[in-house]
Structure 1
Amino acid sequence: MIDFWLAAGLLLLVALSFLLIPVLRSRRAQLEEDRTALNVALYQERVAELQVQQQEGVLDAAQMDAGRAEAARELLADTEGVAAPRVTRLGKAAPLLAAILVPVLGLGLYLHFGASDKVELTREFAQAPQSMEEMTRRLERAVAAQPDSAEALYFLGRTYMTQDRPADAAKVFERTVNLAGRQPELLGQWAQAQYFADGKKWSDKVQALTDEALKADPKEVTSLGLLGIAAFEGQRYQEAIDYWNRLLEQLPPDDQSRIALQGGITRASEKLVASGGKVAQAPAAKPAALLKVRVDLAADLKAKVQPGDSVFIFARATSGPPAPLAAKRLTVADLPATVELGDGDAMMPQLKLSNFPEVQLVARISRAGKPTAGEWIGRSQPLASSTTAPQQLTIDSPDK
């Protein structure tokens, strides 16, 4: 805050200068007027002496005129360069009073309408917190300073959950939903906090929240995990296995929580078998699609392109959304090149190669770097997304 107040002080000095400089100028002008008045008085006194000397016969008329002219020249020399007096209606008291009121009013208005607390929070967040408690205090202050910030509320709710404060987290997530809308992720977080705040008792409210979240996004991970926990606690082991298997499909291969999740599935399976049940086998997952494509440039186009031109290689469904299912970006200098397009390159999770039986391969050169428009293009014939044989794709046609 010191640098802020230093900057504010400099600005205040600039403002005061506009008020005090006229006062100082008026003092200087007054001194010049006093000096001018003194010179005029001396001139009049000199003229009076010359008149007395003329009356006494000491000076004749010519000498009298010469003396008067000399006194006038001296008066003109003394008053030369003196500006005309300025007429002001404010006087000296008004600027001095304004110089006192400006900083006082400015400070009062800033303390009332300003954002000193937000400035201090910004400085605090620039430094790493020393403990979780310190982070919680910062987030609480951020929420108090910005009560309409859904992001601050969300992070505060997550922090409360890590500190085993689910009741506080549930209230915060409810406020977050009211501000940011009923997004599936927020509904899942709210349902999870409410479930633990109620002592791990399933309620109609938690059921409604998870249902709404999964209806909007069937892959919402928090709701899937929570439903699995509730099913396990209710000894509905097959439901728990199903929910956790669905969750397992959404997690990246290197996610550390996969180990704990797989352990939960194993325990639910053991308890189901011990109770006389049989674990239902999950349907076999559809194999991931992976297309190998060798991309080259037609011979007659090599002189028309530049090494830095962008090359976009993608696969799109022949019968489906126009958005690419998988894409890679190269440059002309990289050609010829072999690339792989698979489910891991999906632009969106629901638009995977393996979800569409037939696709088309496209390669486009765009000097402007735009994947949707370019100068030249190459297209393949429709092929099955399960194709494993390497494909050849040549850029040979103008992009129209």
Structure 2
Amino acid sequence: MIDFWLAAGLLLLVALSFLLIPVLRGRRAQSEEDRTALNVALYQERVAELEGQQEEGVLSAAQMNSGRAEAARELLADTEGADVPRTARLGKSWPLLAAVMVPVLGMAMYLHYGASDKVELSREFAQAPTSLDEISKRLERAVKAQPDSAEGLYFLARAYMAQDRPADAASMFERSVALAGRQPELLGQWAQALYFAGNKQFSPQVQALTSEALLADPKEVTSLGLLGIAAFESERYQQAMDYWNRLLAVLPADDPSRSALEGGIARAADKLGSGAQLAAAPVAPIKAAEKPAVESKLPALLKVRVDLAAALKANVQPGDSVFIFARATSGPPMPLAVKRLTVADLPAEVELADADAMMPQLKLSNFPEVQLVARISRAGQATTGEWIGRSAPLASSTTAMQALTIDSPDH
């Protein structure tokens, strides 16, 4: 910052020179003007003295003319090279007052409207940090200087998570979502921060955030990993394996977290195997009258052909997202199975099955009646959009191809 203030001071001196140099020149002109006035007064006094001597008879007419000419020559010699007298001049106090007020007002306006804090931050970020705590402090100052930066809030939240400060991280993720929109990645990381801030309790808010994230992007890695952890810690080992296998399928082959994920799947399988062995212990045979009345359900598979109404084709763009999902007519509001396409893919035929379930416990086959929905969202958000199409309620065991047309505004 020292070189910045030196440069500012130099510019200030240049600005002051435009005020002070004319003032100094004006004072010099004023002194010249005063000297000229004195010479004129002396000339007039000399001429009056000569005229008095002529009247007394001391000087002749020729001597009078010679003395007057001599006085005139002396006046011209004294005033030669003098500036033209000014007809107006500033008061003496105004230039000095301006010289003082310009730097004071300039400094005050810069401190109020300027960006000295951002200049300092840019210089500080140019140097490599030495610790995680230093990174957090820098990011905190950056967020204070730019509170409307979603990127700054996001990176500060990530730094808080690395420092094991999930409550602070959740607050920053929430602000980032408010600025950047409900992007699946942000929702997943917000849910993760809330999960750890709540002492690893899977709250309704965490459930809602992960469901919304996976609805918009079924491959959102943070939500898949978090749901797997929550399922494992609540001893739902099969569900943990399902989530982690889905996550494993989308991770790059060289991702360093794959080995830890595979270890978690193996531990869940061991736990599940131990439980299966206990369940396989010999029990008394069940009598015919004691057999369950409800047989196990067959996996559901709904086939649907989705198209766009001709009247809407001029109102959409090829890259707009299309979410196709099934939800229970009587049950949780969250989708049971979902597929994502674009407007350019329409018309399209898709299949919704138990394998597409958002959560293992919410499968199509677990609900007797469902409704098919197709939504177009320009922002890529599955929960809100511009246009929608809905089917009539139908049995989840339906096997016939269903036709679904997107034809209505999404209110």
Same fold by TM-score greater than 0.5: yes
Aligned residue type for 1:268: A
2:357 match:
none
1:190 match:
190
2:132 match:
132
TM-score, normalised to structure 1, is: 0.65
Quote the sequence identity (%).
76
Higher relative contact order (CA closer than 8 Å, sequence separation 6+): 2
Deviation at residue 214 of structure 1 after TM alignment? 0.9
User: Which stretch shows the higher mean deviation, 20-29 or 110-119?
Assistant: 110-119
1:96 match:
96
1:269 aligns with 2:269: yes
Q: How does 1:112-123 map to 2 (within 5 A)?
A: 112-123=112-123
2:169 match:
169
What do the CA deviations read for 1:353-389 (whole angstroms, capped 9, x no partner)?
A: xxxxxxxxxxxxxxxxxxxxxxxxxxxxxxxxxxxxx
Q: How does 1:30-45 map to 2 (within 5 A)?
A: 30-45=30-45
What do the CA deviations read for 1:74-97 (whole angstroms, capped 9, x no partner)?
A: 322332332223244641112212
Aligned residue type for 2:3: D
Deviation at residue 55 of structure 1 after TM alignment? 5.0
1:62 aligns with 2:62: yes
Structure 1: how far apart are the matches of 2:63 and 2:246? Answer: 124
Structure 2: how far apart are the matches of 1:207 and 1:141? Answer: 33
Structure 2: how far apart are the matches of 1:322 and 1:190? Answer: 31
1:215 match:
215
Aligned residue type for 1:141: R
Deviation at residue 54 of structure 1 after TM alignment? 4.3
Deviation at residue 140 of structure 1 after TM alignment? 1.3
Structure 1: how far apart are the matches of 2:62 and 2:88? Answer: 45
- Matched positions, count: 284
Structure 1: how far apart are the matches of 2:19 and 2:175? Answer: 49
1:29 match:
29
Deviation at residue 15 of structure 1 after TM alignment? 2.7
1:253 match:
253
Structure 1: how far apart are the matches of 2:36 and 2:194? Answer: 88
The 1:87/1:248 distance shift into structure 2, 3 A limit, reads farther
Tell me the SS of whatever aligns to 1:148. coil
2:295 match:
none
Tell me the SS of whatever aligns to 1:17. helix
2:204 match:
204
What do the CA deviations read for 1:36-83 (whole angstroms, capped 9, x no partner)?
A: 123223323443454455456665433432442343233223323322
Structure 2: how far apart are the matches of 1:77 and 1:164? Answer: 91
What do the CA deviations read for 1:291-327 (whole angstroms, capped 9, x no partner)?
A: xxxxxxxxxxxxxxxxxxxxxxxxxxxxxx999xxxx
Deviation at residue 31 of structure 1 after TM alignment? 0.9
What do the CA deviations read for 1:215-273 (whole angstroms, capped 9, x no partner)?
A: 11111111111111112112222222222122122222222111111111221222222
Tell me the SS of whatever aligns to 1:34. helix
1:145 aligns with 2:140: no
Aligned residue type for 1:118: K
Structure 1: how far apart are the matches of 2:269 and 2:87? Answer: 99
2:83 match:
83
Structure 2: how far apart are the matches of 1:17 and 1:190? Answer: 57
Aligned residue type for 1:84: V
Aligned residue type for 2:74: E
Structure 1: how far apart are the matches of 2:269 and 2:70? Answer: 125
User: Which stretch shows the higher mean deviation, 228-237 or 217-226?
Assistant: 228-237
The 1:242/1:88 distance shift into structure 2, 3 A limit, reads farther
Aligned residue type for 1:134: E
Aligned residue type for 1:201: Q
What do the CA deviations read for 1:149-173 (whole angstroms, capped 9, x no partner)?
A: 1111101110111111111111111
The 1:256/1:149 distance shift into structure 2, 3 A limit, reads same
Structure 1: how far apart are the matches of 2:65 and 2:89? Answer: 43
Structure 2: how far apart are the matches of 1:164 and 1:242? Answer: 28
Structure 2: how far apart are the matches of 1:77 and 1:204? Answer: 102
- TM-align CA RMSD: 2.7
Structure 2: how far apart are the matches of 1:124 and 1:58? Answer: 92
Tell me the SS of whatever aligns to 2:97. helix
Structure 2: how far apart are the matches of 1:146 and 1:190? Answer: 21
Aligned residue type for 1:157: A
2:393 match:
none
The 1:52/1:86 distance shift into structure 2, 3 A limit, reads closer
The 1:115/1:181 distance shift into structure 2, 3 A limit, reads same
Structure 2: how far apart are the matches of 1:98 and 1:214? Answer: 65
Structure 1: how far apart are the matches of 2:37 and 2:89? Answer: 22
1:239 match:
239
Aligned residue type for 2:97: L
Aligned residue type for 1:127: Q
Tell me the SS of whatever aligns to 1:254. coil
Tell me the SS of whatever aligns to 1:275. helix
In structure 1, list runs of 5 or more residues that go unmatched.
279-320, 324-349, 352-400
The 1:87/1:262 distance shift into structure 2, 3 A limit, reads farther
Structure 2: how far apart are the matches of 1:195 and 1:218? Answer: 20
Tell me the SS of whatever aligns to 1:129. coil
What do the CA deviations read for 1:143-202 (whole angstroms, capped 9, x no partner)?
A: 222221111110111011111111111111111111111011100000000111111111
1:227 aligns with 2:227: yes
